[in-house]
Amino acid sequence: MIKLLRLSGHAIVFLALTILTQLGGLVYLLTICVAKKYRLARWKTLALFLIGYCFSSFLILPQFSHLLGREPLPWTGELRPLNVTTCLLNRHYVTPELKDQMLRVSAQMQQEFPGSHLQYLDACFPLVDGFPLLPHLSHNDGRKIDLAFYYADINTNKSLDDAPSPIGYGVHEDPKGDEPNTTESCLEGGHWQYGFVDYLVPDWSKDKYKVNKFQTRRLIQLLSEDEATDKLFLEPHLKYRWNLAKYTNIKFHGCHAVRHDDHIHTQVIRPKE
């Protein structure tokens, strides 16, 4: 019985690390095998796992992933993660085409808005097309990435290099007045998951932040006009509010997904074979 519980525990940890980081489950499995062979104490096993994970993620993966058509996005500079945890979990890998576009657009934003940074959220895992990056439905081929909105201080109007949500998701720009309200229609249609991120992220910072509409709108324009872009996902009421109707590649993502009035989803055209 004890053996069965241990095996179940290892299986759960393996599965969780694989879902969260793709690589972590394999490193954990190898660590357990080494620890069992050499009868390592728990703290030594943990240390071995952390060393193995860091070595694999920071040194091996960036060198190996390009062979599979993926490249890591930078951790610092004009283009960087909103939360460094994204990189620690290996969720910042994209195709060379998407990386080039992100660097190009971030440089344009920096030129037009000196001192600003383009901050990304989840992109894709480094290995294997089709491997799901949960909870996303389509981030599985290196061609997709979520970008944070730009924000400003609600009192001073000063641009902020930060967001009201630590993960970039979950603090929404709700529909107003007669704007299209897909959130309401999706929830009424039984799509319970559409706004579930709301319950995961506290809104303590709403009284400090407001969306920098001018800067965020300009980012969307640059992406929409970039020749590498396939399509963007944005909530219809923001497309209406920010006068972006002429950009036909800005799409509604459908009720089967989650709300897109807290971030921008963009993806590049699939390269011709």
DSSP state of 205: T
Residue-range domain boundaries for the chain = 2-66, 69-268
* 231 Cβ contact partners less than 8 Å away, ≥ 6 residues apart: 249, 250, 251, 266, 267
Q: Give the residue ranges of the chain where pLDDT is below 70.
A: 1, 203-206, 272-273
Nearest to residue 142, comparing CAs of 103, 104, 93? 93
> How big is the CA angle at 251 (ends 247 and 254), to the nearest 5 degrees?
165
Q: At what angle do helices 42-55 and 24-38 cross, to 10 degrees?
A: 140
The predicted structure's pLDDT at residue 273: 57
In terms of residues, how long is the chain? Answer: 273
Q: Which residue has the tokens 């949500």?
A: 165
Tokens at residue 253, please? 């993502």
The predicted structure's pLDDT at residue 161: 87
Report the chain's mean pLDDT, rounded to a whole number: 92
CATH 3.30.1380.10 matches 69-268:
yes
The predicted structure's pLDDT at residue 198: 78
pLDDT 10s digits, 2-40: 777 777 888 999 999 999 999 999 999 999 999 998 989
pLDDT 10s digits, 75-114: 999 999 999 999 999 999 999 999 999 999 999 999 999 9
Point out which residues pair with 79 in neighbouring strands: 118
Tell me how far apart the alpha carbons of residues 97 and 133 are, in angstroms, rounded to a whole number: 19
Tell me how far apart the alpha carbons of residues 271 and 251 are, in angstroms, rounded to a whole number: 21
The predicted structure's pLDDT at residue 101: 98
The predicted structure's pLDDT at residue 197: 83
Half-sphere exposure of 118 (CA within 13 A, CB side): 27
Q: How buried is residue 76: exposed, middle or buried, by Cβ count under 10 Å (0-12/13-18/19+)?
A: exposed
DSSP states of 100-138: HHHHHHHHHHHHHSTT--EEE---B-SS-TT---TT-SS
Amino acid (1-letter code) at residue 48: L
DSSP state of 165: S
> How big is the CA angle at 224 (ends 223 and 227), to the nearest 5 degrees?
85
Tell me how far apart the alpha carbons of residues 263 and 231 are, in angstroms, rounded to a whole number: 14
DSSP states of 77-92: SSEEESSTHHHHTT--
